Amino acid sequence: MKDMVNPHDRLFKEIEKIKENSRDLIESTFPQELLEKLDLDTLENDNNSYIDESLKEFYTDLVFNCKYSGNITIKVSILFEHKSYKPENEYLQLLRYILNIWDYSVKNKEKPPIVIPVIFYHGSKKWEVKPLSAYFKGADKNLRQFIPDFKYIFTDIGEIPEEVILKEKFNNINKVMTLLFKHIADEKYLKEKMVEIFSLVREFFAGEKREIIITFLLYIMHTTEIDKEYIRKCLNAISPEGGEIAMTTAMKLREEGKREGIQEGIREGIQEGKKEGIQEGLKRKAIEDAKNMLLDGISIEKAAQYTGLNTFPFSFLS
């Protein structure tokens, strides 16, 4: 297991790839009029990502297929924003993302689906949702008809009151995930509330379900400096046996991740060194060839042209 590249992404995907959690997330955040027509019993993971190179700096995605109004298959794309600040123009990013889905569908001889984009945000700065047309100042109704306007569903985790998280929204797994995202920068809060937070998922301290606890622990270990023994003490207060097993397993996985990360870094360093060595060797060969050309009476300009050297220093002649 590799160490987490982006722990926020990893936690979100590990939790929400489980159908009952993603369904709960949708039920807790979608407008009621949309929920009434979505058949969430048909919700299925798409198992593809449509994030391209230009988007992966900002988002990770989970995509689901779902029936709407009985016979229309749509895609629900849940995009988790991991930069913790609002991009300059999210609509351009979302439009590119939707086009990626449509392009994939066309290439696979499928009908392009309607896509419901959903953004989950846990940054500290305010994210104001405006229509795409608002970015085009001075456009009257004649011009607005040429703007590809569309909406997205937006949830700012930081704006959801704690009371609402605990009593009105989300199943217990999503409650823990949301509380961690909301307060991950506040170690004082996390230490004070750790027993209370993990008590929400008390039933997952036993058997195979314990993987959920381990996932949460890895996230906390990676993103905070909270003392491991303090965490162990909190878990043992909930379930002495289950807490001990979960903590020991999480620490082992964390150390394995660190070792694999170091080894991967060494491998990458060796590969980079090989590349640099090859490049340096080619450069030395080009200079040697150029030197011989000059000795044979070929002009500096021609020697530079033949060897591919952009500039032609004379220092090597000394």
Among 22-26, 145-149, 166-170, whose mean pLDDT is lowest?
A: 145-149
- Whether 110 shows a pLDDT value over 80: the answer reads yes
- Whether 47 shows a pLDDT value over 80: the answer reads yes
3-class DSSP assignment, residue 110:
coil
- In this prediction, residue 318 carries a pLDDT of 40
pLDDT classification of 149: cutoffs 50, 70, 90: confident
d(CA 294, CA 317): 10
Q: How many helices (H) does the chain have, and how many strands (E)?
A: 12, 5
Strand partners, 68: 38, 72
pLDDT classification of 6: cutoffs 50, 70, 90: confident
- Whether 299 shows a pLDDT value over 70: the answer reads no
Q: Return the percent helix, strand and coil in the chain, to nearest 5.
A: 60, 10, 30
Total residue length of the chain: 318
Q: What is the mean pLDDT of residues 241-251?
A: 94
For the chain, strand residue ranges (E) read 38-45, 59-68, 72-81, 115-121, 153-156
> How high is the mean pLDDT of the chain?
86
- Let me know: does 175 contact 165? Beta carbons within 8 Å: yes
- Let me know: does 71 contact 86? Beta carbons within 8 Å: no
Return the closest-CA partner of residue 85 out of 53, 119, 54, 121: 121
53-84 burial, b if ≥16 CB within 10 A, otherwise e? eebeebbbbbbbebbbeeeeebbbbbbbbbee
pLDDT classification of 316: cutoffs 50, 70, 90: very low
